[in-house]
Amino acid sequence: MAGASGPGTTAIAGAALATAPGAATSPGPASASSSRPAGPVRVALIGTHGFGRIHLKNLARLGSAGISRLVGVVDVAEPPEEVAGIHHRSLPDLLAAVPAADRPEIVAIATPIGTHLPLARQALDAGIDVYLEKPPVPALEDHWELLAAAEAAGRSVQVGFQARGGAGVDVLRDEVATGALGPVDTVRVHGAWRRDRAYYRRSAWAGKRQLDGRRVADGVATNPLAHAVHAGLVIAGIDEARDIASVTTELRRAHDIEADDTTFLRIDPAGDGPAVVCALTTTAPEQRTAWVEAVGPRGSHRLYYTDDVSVRTGPDGGTQQLRHERTDLMENLAAHVRDRSVPLISPLETTGAFSTVLEAIQSAPDPLPIDGDAVDIQGEGEAAVPVVRDIEQTLLAALDAGQAFSELGVPWARPDAVRTWTPPAPGIRRG
């Protein structure tokens, strides 16, 4: 069947495929690469626990490769022993303590969601580029504020939607845009994950919508499966807030939390192009690999983004499995810092649509609990998992119909949990 493949994509059983358009770009401030220092890019990390440990491991790898150099870490708690010697309590403390030769060029932020905006602003105001974990901010207004701050500082912000590092997302985006699958009216996003009670007790903000009067937004669609939602938006060509006409949500929870763990989303576009329909949970009986799929009259293409593998199905039912290369987002940002002509893979500018979906979710009423007789508890103590009965079939049915759970007659679903939200006009902020 027709269809292009992205850079670093090959047929697993066959020849290399054709080159497709590259990732989204962020031009950053105009400056000649010759004005930048040579050698490893200097990086500081804020947040050394939780996902910060993943950053430490990756920065060690990049350090061994001569790509970056870790010059300091910031944490309000004691850091791991291996970085205790470069530990500081705040970014201003770090900047005041390090010599000019160790001043960071990138600050990576791996802290609770509600702290992202003030910490990113600290780094930008100091003239430093930022790697910001997903979700970038807990509100659409915060997204606009951070964009303005980055523009004013002349710096770039890379957002840690790791799925964007895989070439498969661009392959599917190109196929939808070029009509390789025929007219695609829906991009489907499926996430059936399993999380125990300990997951939602890992920190004070876990499973919260707000903490101490500030948004946290730790729901299934905005944190654990945020990569899937964002990938679906990118594949559908929905990049900015103005690309969205409305967002329909049905937020439910089986865990004893405030946020949603079982969610239906439908993002309808403002113009031509496919809608994005998402059916997500952390209450599955077993962990499944999340996927994003475009379906058209000439076939379908399903991407398992965590594995960088996709399956393309032709109109005759024949399949082709593709493997996609991955670019590390920190490595990409380091290259961009050294040479501004290198485009960012996941720039803040291309995450406006995701922040809009997050705003729709946070604007909906608190998720309603799923009746206990529809939930089986598997395991005991902190390892216990509430499993919603027949949840896997329910997710697939919602994707096939493009309808919320309550519209399908699911026994535990409730029509009063469904909300349709319209984003504000571009440039208008809601308090």
Mean pLDDT of 171-193: 97
The pLDDT confidence band at residue 214, using thresholds 50, 70 and 90, is: confident
pLDDT of 426: 56
Q: What is the spatial distance between Cα 354 and Cα 159, in angstroms, rounded to a whole number?
A: 11
Question: Is pLDDT above 60 for 100?
Answer: yes
Q: What is the spatial distance between Cα 225 and Cα 248, in angstroms, rounded to a whole number?
A: 17
Question: Is pLDDT above 70 for 65?
Answer: yes
Instruction: Report the amino acid identity of residue 217.
Output: A
Q: What is the spatial distance between Cα 349 and Cα 156, in angstroms, rounded to a whole number?
A: 9
Mean confidence (pLDDT) of the chain:
91
Is the separation of the CB atoms in 99 and 125 below 8 Å?
no
The pLDDT confidence band at residue 92, using thresholds 50, 70 and 90, is: very high
pLDDT of 38: 78
Among 20-34, 122-136, 350-364, the least confident range? 20-34
Question: Is pLDDT above 70 for 35?
Answer: no
CA distances to 168, 246, 312 from 271, in Å: 24, 11, 27
pLDDT of 19: 31
Q: What percent of the chain has pLDDT over 70?
A: 90
Q: What is the spatial distance between Cα 217 and Cα 209, in angstroms, rounded to a whole number?
A: 5
Question: Is pLDDT above 70 for 33?
Answer: no
Q: What percent of the chain has pLDDT over 90?
A: 87
The pLDDT confidence band at residue 176, using thresholds 50, 70 and 90, is: very high
Question: Is pLDDT above 60 for 127?
Answer: yes
Question: Is pLDDT above 80 for 22?
Answer: no
The model carries a pTM of 0.90
Q: Is the dihedral of CA 94, 96, 97, 100 positive or negative?
A: positive
pLDDT of 10: 64
Residues 6+ apart with CB under 8 A from 278: 188, 189, 190, 191, 221, 225, 228, 229, 232, 263, 264, 265, 266, 267
Residues 6+ apart with CB under 8 A from 264: 248, 249, 250, 277, 278, 279, 280, 398, 404, 405
More confident call, 430 vs 172: 172
Nearest one of 308, 330, 311 to 319, comparing CA atoms: 311
Question: Is pLDDT above 90 for 153?
Answer: yes
Please give the helix or strand (H or E) that residue 275 lies within, else none: strand 275-281
Question: Is pLDDT above 60 for 198?
Answer: yes
Q: What is the spatial distance between Cα 324 and Cα 311, in angstroms, rounded to a whole number?
A: 11
The pLDDT confidence band at residue 69, using thresholds 50, 70 and 90, is: very high
Sort strands 275-281 and 291-296 into parallel, antiparallel or unpaired: unpaired
Mean pLDDT of 14-18: 33
Residues 6+ apart with CB under 8 A from 200: 206, 207, 255, 256, 257
